[in-house]
């Protein structure tokens, strides 16, 4: 056995490429061939179409399926998802920024570790548990109702729920509710990159700005914000992409209206329209590719 | 005694190219067994590459390398009877000093008791007797270097390679280590090959020196050969601060129409039988002496005056003389 | 960018408030696990009791789902550690054509929306004629867990000095001995940390799992069922609490294992 090990070791020294190939073969085979292969196969399907009468897939190259995406019912889905992703991203950025700013600038020593863990644990915590928790919180008999009731603002909630489009029978079945849950679940993803890029700003820059006569607001606008921007963009990659592809939250806390993820899910079943499902799936991928290339130009990748 | 010394390491027409760049260019070398051999040169001159060719971490693109007569081609580093002291010492942070030193014995399968004993003996040799239980992170630079040395030597290699071993140490420590390395080598009788860009180190420790430039050996010889009789301007310039004199000056001094070198310390001030006269332009007190610059025509000649000699005032006219054989005529340019 | 001044009070309050906000919903679940009320999300809870823990323990479907999640998590983690370390070793130690694409390849399963990864794997299994079983779940999880181990391993490999590996070889060790005595001890904690995060990730995952699972239920799938068609809400609360606690431990462990490095495990998901 030892002799074999020695012989093999010699061979690896003589042919380092052999060792490299052996190291890479299992993972690349699995990921590159099988995973990416089936990914392509799936996306390729978007260029096929489904025969309306037989319900079977016609394996001919066509853009008909993509055209189907443009019909109002489908396009609405895309638009809705896109809007929700945008709103969630902006809100997350606004809420995350002060938290990240405090953690980067003022938290020291034990507090810093506490903040880090405090953001890390929810980040890795179960997505479903969080969703479930919010379902309970938003429920009619849940804590929000109780809170508002005890300060006498229940009428406000009822009023909000009557707002068309984003309202609904209850918070737990409405766009507002969905929005709250999305922001909550993705917030840690936004906090960490912003904090990372803020930490890279040398403290004396802010002092220098004040020294040169800038007010706090000016310092923020001209010094802090631009330097934090890559982090914000990096975080937005997460929030945007995760919202675009999610199908569980809209299903659990949504009304019957569809989101992209749900549409993909609905169409991909055996009785469904796989080309259409694939076409829907391509949409978030394309959006994210565009978004990512813009983000890269803004230097967001350095903040990751 | 009386039998010829074997050749520990031999390079025959060895080249190592990286694409179009020749890091090592047709090098011939013969390192005698039991000698302390220095490879000296500026960074990028190919000396470190040559070291790696001996240890086996790099392969020549052409030519042959023999270690004690055996061709090293196809022999991996772990099978060569060569050990290396790396520039950054490369101690294993997760093992204590004793296990670091005993590592080479451990992978050969030697039992714990024996290898610990050998390790302790070697630690004694490098004067780190009670350090066995410490971790590398707890040691100073000089101590780490000695552990690296012990770790290499415990395997009784036939050739020990040292890659810029003293570079990271401060001046006092460096000088102390130079003495220690020299006496260690003489006591053990192992062939030491070390790489350095510091000419002072090379001259003080080595038995023979090879000066590298741009992948080639420019001159090889004893420290005295290199210092007193540099073969060309590069060597003269690199190894010590010599006066490099253009052919016309050399001809004036009776040397012929070649480039020459003249060590500042061989020049004396004189009034009567001066070989040349000039005006003093600079004067710098060095503690051990004073270095003055004397303008002769277009060339400033440096002279080192020992302490006690009267230092002439700036601008005064002085006469310089030297022994005939102090002016070294360089064969090449 | 540390500052010596004290933070403005509103900022401090908002930051701490925000942090608490992140944790409160989960703590609420803990509270609800003890409520006496059957419908369970009534606030404030009318009373507190431990009885739901007993009920939860008595439910065979809960145990089955939990056991499946643990099994899947453990094996997927081992696979992810092996594959992730292989990739990381190759990428850190050599320059080769396509090196940057490896990083992209590894992150793809987790970067793309879960539903796309799920469907792709499902069709791959169908194509290769592999029936749905525990193994398809495991393979699916291993696929997106690789990146977690990979990131940790690459960061640690980067800190491993190349000359240490050469020194080992110089002293007579062959490739395998060098791996066992020098490389492994130095990357061990990074692999462990990556493995813990991979386990946590696998334990919580639901989207890809629904596509690769067939008839079986991992714990998250069980929870999803309960979300949509609730049987006994309080039992769900208890299970949720257990899930949070089970995943809390590996995360904390991973943090402490890599705390002194410049790359803290989990910092970039």
Write out pLDDT tens, residues C83-129. Answer: 999 999 888 877 777 777 777 788 778 778 888 888 888 878 877 77
Q: Which residues contact B13 (CB under 8 A, 6 or more apart)?
A: B26, B27, B28, B62, B63, B64
Residue C232 CA, chain-centre distance (Å), reads 27
Say if A33 is an interface residue toward chain C (CB within 8 Å).
no
Name chain C contacts of A252, Cβ cutoff 8 Å: 227-228
- Residue C45 sits at φ, ψ, to 5 deg, of -65, 135
Output the six-digit token pair for B277: 């006269």
Does A24 sit within 8 Å of C87, measured CB to CB? yes
Q: To 10 degrees, what angle do helices C219-228 and A127-138 make? A: 20
Q: Which of A3, A12, A13 to mutate to test the interface with B (most CBs of B within 10 A)?
A: A13
Map residue A135 onto helix, strand or coil: helix
pLDDT band at B89 (very low <50, low <70, confident <90, very high): very high
Higher pLDDT: C264 or B305? It is B305
Please state, in angstroms and rounded to a whole number, the distance separating the CA atoms of residues B325 and B322: 8
The end-to-end CA distance of chain C, in Å, is 23
Name chain A contacts of C227, Cβ cutoff 8 Å: 128, 131-132, 135, 252
Q: Which chains touch B (3 or more CB pairs under 8 A)?
A: A, C
Nearest CB to C204 within list A30, A127, A238: A127
Please state, in angstroms and rounded to a whole number, the distance separating the CA atoms of residues A295 and A288: 10
Q: What is the pLDDT of residue B208?
A: 95
- Name the closest residue on chain A to residue B109, using Cα atoms: A2
Tens digit of pLDDT for each residue in B31-55?
A: 999 999 999 999 889 999 999 999 9
Contact assessment for residue C69 and residue A173, using Cβ atoms and an 8 Å cutoff: no
Q: What is the pLDDT of residue A129?
A: 86
Please state, in angstroms and rounded to a whole number, the distance separating the CA atoms of residues A126 and B167: 53
Q: Which residues contact B252 (CB under 8 A, 6 or more apart)?
A: B276
- Name the closest residue on chain C to residue B56, using Cα atoms: C170
Nearest CB to A6 within list C6, C25, C174: C174
Contact assessment for residue B16 and residue B78, using Cβ atoms and an 8 Å cutoff: no
Number of neighbours of residue C76 by Cβ within 10 angstroms: 26
Share of chain C above pLDDT 90, in %: 19
Q: What is the pLDDT of residue C260?
A: 61
Q: What is the pLDDT of residue C3?
A: 66
* Closest CA–CA distance from residue B164 to any residue of chain C (Å): 14
* Closest CA–CA distance from residue A22 to any residue of chain B (Å): 20
Does C168 sit within 8 Å of B77, measured CB to CB? no
Q: To 10 degrees, what angle do helices C134-159 and C114-127 make? A: 120
Please state, in angstroms and rounded to a whole number, the distance separating the CA atoms of residues A115 and A100: 9
Does B86 sit within 8 Å of C163, measured CB to CB? yes
- B114 burial (CB, 10 Å; 0-12 / 13-18 / 19+) is exposed
Please state, in angstroms and as integers, the Cα–Cα distance from residue B258 to each residue in B227, B238, B246, B254, C10, following that order. 18, 19, 7, 10, 83
Q: What is the DSSP letter of B275?
A: S
Q: Which of residues 197-256 of C touch A (CB under 8 A)?
A: 197, 200-201, 203-204, 206-207, 220, 223-224, 226-228, 236, 240, 243-244, 247-248, 251-252, 255
- Could you list the beta-strand ranges (E) of B146-238: 159-163, 191-196, 208-213, 216-221
Contact assessment for residue A193 and residue A211, using Cβ atoms and an 8 Å cutoff: no
Nearest CB to A120 within list C44, C115, C266: C266
The end-to-end CA distance of chain A, in Å, is 45
| Helical segments of chain C, H only | 9-32, 51-58, 60-93, 99-111, 114-127, 134-159, 162-170, 175-178, 184-204, 207-212, 219-228, 233-257
Name chain A contacts of C207, Cβ cutoff 8 Å: 247-248
What is the DSSP pairing of strand B243-245 with strand B260-262?
A: antiparallel
Does A108 sit within 8 Å of C266, measured CB to CB? no
Name chain C contacts of B58, Cβ cutoff 8 Å: none
Does B86 sit within 8 Å of C166, measured CB to CB? yes
Nearest CB to C169 within list B78, B93, B152: B78
Does C90 sit within 8 Å of A20, measured CB to CB? yes
Nearest CB to C161 within list B76, B79, B88: B88
Output the six-digit token pair for A115: 């903040």
Does C102 sit within 8 Å of A24, measured CB to CB? yes
Please state, in angstroms and rounded to a whole number, the distance separating the CA atoms of residues A162 and A155: 11
Please state, in angstroms and rounded to a whole number, the distance separating the CA atoms of residues A243 and A249: 9
Say if B18 is an interface residue toward chain C (CB within 8 Å).
no
Question: pLDDT at residue B331 above 80?
Answer: no
Map residue A37 onto helix, strand or coil: helix
Interface ipTM above 0.90: no
Q: Is the dihedral of CA A228, A233, A234, A238 positive or negative?
A: positive
Say if B93 is an interface residue toward chain C (CB within 8 Å).
yes
Q: Is the dihedral of CA C164, C166, C170, C176 positive or negative?
A: positive
Contact assessment for residue B46 and residue B212, using Cβ atoms and an 8 Å cutoff: yes
Q: Which of residues 114-133 of C touch A (CB under 8 A)?
A: 114-117, 119-121, 123-124, 127-128
Chain A: which residues have CB within 8 Å of chain B? 9-10, 13-14
For the entire predicted model, the pTM comes to: 0.80
Name chain B contacts of A14, Cβ cutoff 8 Å: 74, 76
What is the DSSP pairing of strand B208-213 with strand B7-18?
A: unpaired
- Name the closest residue on chain A to residue B77, using Cα atoms: A13
pLDDT band at B222 (very low <50, low <70, confident <90, very high): very high
- B86 burial (CB, 10 Å; 0-12 / 13-18 / 19+) is buried
Quick one: which H or E segment has residue A278? helix A274-297
Name chain B contacts of C167, Cβ cutoff 8 Å: 84, 86, 90-92
Q: To 10 degrees, what angle do helices A175-199 and C9-32 make? A: 130
Q: What is the DSSP letter of A222?
A: I
* Closest CA–CA distance from residue A172 to any residue of chain B (Å): 55
Map residue A228 onto helix, strand or coil: helix
Map residue B274 onto helix, strand or coil: coil
Tens digit of pLDDT for each residue in C118-169?
A: 888 887 887 777 888 888 899 889 988 998 899 888 888 888 888 999 999 9
Question: pLDDT at residue B215 above 80?
Answer: yes
Quick one: which H or E segment has residue A203? helix A203-211
Contact assessment for residue A248 and residue A131, using Cβ atoms and an 8 Å cutoff: yes
Does B107 sit within 8 Å of C170, measured CB to CB? no
Q: Which of A129, A263, A291 to mutate to test the interface with C (most CBs of C within 10 A)?
A: A129
Question: pLDDT at residue B118 above 90?
Answer: yes
Q: What is the DSSP letter of C138?
A: H
Average pLDDT over residues B160-165: 93
Output the six-digit token pair for C4: 């010596």
Number of neighbours of residue A244 by Cβ within 10 angstroms: 23
Q: Which chains touch C (3 or more CB pairs under 8 A)?
A: A, B
Nearest CB to C173 within list B78, B90, B151: B78
Average pLDDT over residues C31-58: 74
* Closest CA–CA distance from residue A273 to any residue of chain C (Å): 13
pLDDT band at B210 (very low <50, low <70, confident <90, very high): very high
Q: What is the CA radius of gyration of chain A?
A: 25
Contact assessment for residue C94 and residue A16, using Cβ atoms and an 8 Å cutoff: yes
Name chain C contacts of A57, Cβ cutoff 8 Å: none
Please state, in angstroms and rounded to a whole number, the distance separating the CA atoms of residues A84 and A90: 10
Q: pLDDT 10s per residue in chain A (304 long)? A: 778 888 888 888 888 888 888 888 888 888 888 888 888 888 887 787 777 777 667 777 777 778 878 888 888 888 888 898 999 999 999 999 989 888 888 877 788 888 888 888 888 888 888 888 888 888 777 777 777 777 877 777 777 777 776 667 777 777 888 888 999 999 998 998 888 888 877 878 888 888 888 888 888 888 888 888 888 888 888 888 888 888 888 888 876 668 888 888 878 776 677 778 888 888 888 888 888 777 777 665 554 4
Higher pLDDT: B98 or A73? It is B98
Residue that has been written with the tokens 């402490």 in this structure:
C256
Does C185 sit within 8 Å of B155, measured CB to CB? no
Say if A195 is an interface residue toward chain C (CB within 8 Å).
no
Q: Which of B101, B103, B167 to mutate to test the interface with C (most CBs of C within 10 A)?
A: B103
Q: What is the pLDDT of residue C269?
A: 46
Nearest CB to C172 within list B57, B78, B91: B78
Q: What is the pLDDT of residue C264?
A: 53
Does B77 sit within 8 Å of A9, measured CB to CB? no
* Closest CA–CA distance from residue B136 to any residue of chain A (Å): 28
Does B74 sit within 8 Å of A9, measured CB to CB? no
Contact assessment for residue B248 and residue B268, using Cβ atoms and an 8 Å cutoff: no
């Amino acid at each position: 056995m030892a002799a074999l090990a020695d012989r093999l070791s010699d061979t690896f020294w003589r042919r380092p490429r052999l060792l490299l190939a052996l190291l890479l073969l299992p993972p690349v085979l699995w990921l590159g061939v099988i995973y990416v292969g089936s990914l392509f196969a799936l996306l390729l399907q978007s260029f096929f179409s489904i025969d309306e009468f037989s319900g079977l897939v016609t394996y001919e190259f066509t853009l008909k399926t993509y055209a189907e995406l443009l019909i109002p019912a489908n396009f609405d889905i895309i638009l809705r998802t896109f809007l929700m992703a945008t709103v969630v991203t902006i809100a997350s950025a606004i809420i995350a920024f002060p938290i990240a700013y405090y953690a980067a600038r003022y938290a020291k020593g034990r507090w810093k570790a506490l903040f880090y863990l405090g953001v890390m644990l929810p980040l890795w915590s179960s997505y479903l548990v969080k969703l479930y928790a919010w379902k309970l919180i938003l429920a009619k008999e849940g804590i929000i109702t109780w809170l508002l009731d005890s300060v006498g603002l229940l009428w406000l909630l009822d009023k909000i729920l009557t707002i068309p489009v984003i309202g609904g029978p209850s918070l737990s079945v409405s766009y507002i509710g969905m929005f709250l849950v999305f922001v909550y679940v993705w917030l840690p993803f936004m906090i960490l990159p912003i904090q990372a890029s803020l930490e890279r700003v040398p403290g004396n820059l802010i002092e220098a700005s004040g020294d040169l006569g800038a007010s706090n607001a000016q310092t923020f606008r001209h010094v802090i914000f631009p330097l934090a921007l890559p982090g914000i963009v990096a975080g937005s990659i997460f929030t945007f992409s995760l919202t675009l592809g999610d199908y569980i939250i809209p299903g659990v806390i949504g009304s019957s209206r569809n989101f992209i993820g749900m549409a993909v899910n609905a169409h991909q079943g055996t009785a469904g329209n796989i080309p259409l499902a694939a076409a829907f799936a391509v949409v978030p991928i394309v959006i994210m590719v565009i978004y990512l290339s813009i983000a890269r130009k803004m230097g967001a990748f350095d903040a990751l | 005694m009386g039998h010829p010394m074997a050749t520990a390491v031999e390079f025959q027409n060895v080249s190592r190219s990286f694409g179009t760049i020749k890091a090592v260019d047709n090098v011939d070398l013969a390192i005698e067994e039991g000698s302390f051999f220095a490879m000296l040169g500026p960074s990028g001159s190919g000396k470190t590459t040559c070291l790696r060719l001996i240890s086996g971490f790099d392969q020549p693109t052409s030519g042959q390398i023999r270690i004690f007569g055996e061709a090293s081609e196809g022999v991996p580093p772990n099978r060569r009877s060569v050990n290396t002291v790396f520039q950054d010492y490369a101690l294993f942070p997760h093992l204590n000093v004793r296990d670091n030193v005993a590592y080479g014995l451990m992978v050969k399968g030697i039992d714990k008791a024996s290898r610990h004993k050998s390790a302790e003996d070697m630690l004694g040799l490098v004067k780190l007797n009670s350090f066995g239980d410490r971790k590398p992170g707890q040691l100073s630079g000089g101590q780490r270097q000695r552990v690296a040395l012990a770790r290499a030597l415990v395997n009784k290699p036939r050739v020990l390679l040292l890659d810029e071993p003293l570079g990271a140490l401060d001046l006092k420590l460096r000088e102390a280590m130079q003495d220690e390395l020299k006496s260690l080598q003489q006591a053990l009788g192992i062939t030491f090959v070390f790489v350095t860009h510091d000419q002072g180190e090379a001259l003080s420790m080595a038995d023979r020196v090879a000066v590298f430039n741009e992948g080639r050996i420019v001159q090889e010889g004893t420290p005295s050969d290199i210092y007193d009789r540099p073969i060309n301007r590069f060597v003269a310039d690199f190894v010590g601060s010599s006066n490099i004199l253009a052919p016309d000056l050399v001809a004036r001094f009776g040397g012929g129409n070649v480039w020459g070198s003249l060590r500042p310390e061989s020049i004396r001030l004189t009034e009567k039988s001066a070989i040349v006269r000039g005006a003093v332009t600079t004067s710098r007190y060095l503690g051990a002496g004073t270095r003055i610059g004397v303008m002769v025509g277009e060339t400033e000649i440096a002279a080192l005056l020992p302490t006690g000699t009267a230092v002439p005032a700036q601008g005064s006219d002085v006469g310089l003389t030297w022994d005939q054989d102090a002016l070294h005529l360089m064969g090449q340019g | 960018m540390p500052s010596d001044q004290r933070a403005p009070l509103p900022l401090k309050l908002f930051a701490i408030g925000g942090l608490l906000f992140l944790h409160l919903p989960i703590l609420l679940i803990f509270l609800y696990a003890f409520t006496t009320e059957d419908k369970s999300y009534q606030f404030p809870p009318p009373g507190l009791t431990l009885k739901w823990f007993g009920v939860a323990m008595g439910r065979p479907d809960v145990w089955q789902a939990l056991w499946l999640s643990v099994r899947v998590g453990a094996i997927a983690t081992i696979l992810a550690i092996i594959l992730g370390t292989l990739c990381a070793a190759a990428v850190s130690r050599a320059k080769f054509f396509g090196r940057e694409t490896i990083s992209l390849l590894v992150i793809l399963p987790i970067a793309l929306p879960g539903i796309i990864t799920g469907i792709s794997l499902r069709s791959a299994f169908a194509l290769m004629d592999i029936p749905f079983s525990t193994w398809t779940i495991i393979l699916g999880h291993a696929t997106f867990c690789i990146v977690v181990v990979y990131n940790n391993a690459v960061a640690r490999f980067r800190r491993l000095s190349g000359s240490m590996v050469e020194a080992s070889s110089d002293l007579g060790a062959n490739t395998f001995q060098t791996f066992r005595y020098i490389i492994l001890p130095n990357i061990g904690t990074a692999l462990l940390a990556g493995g813990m995060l991979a386990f946590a990730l696998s334990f919580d995952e639901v989207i890809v799992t629904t596509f690769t699972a067939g008839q079986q239920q991992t714990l998250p799938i069980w929870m999803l069922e309960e979300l949509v068609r609730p049987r006994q809400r309080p039992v769900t609360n208890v299970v949720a609490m257990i899930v949070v606690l089970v995943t809390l431990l590996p995360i904390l462990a991973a943090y402490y294992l890599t705390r002194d490095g410049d790359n803290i495990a989990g910092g970039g998901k």
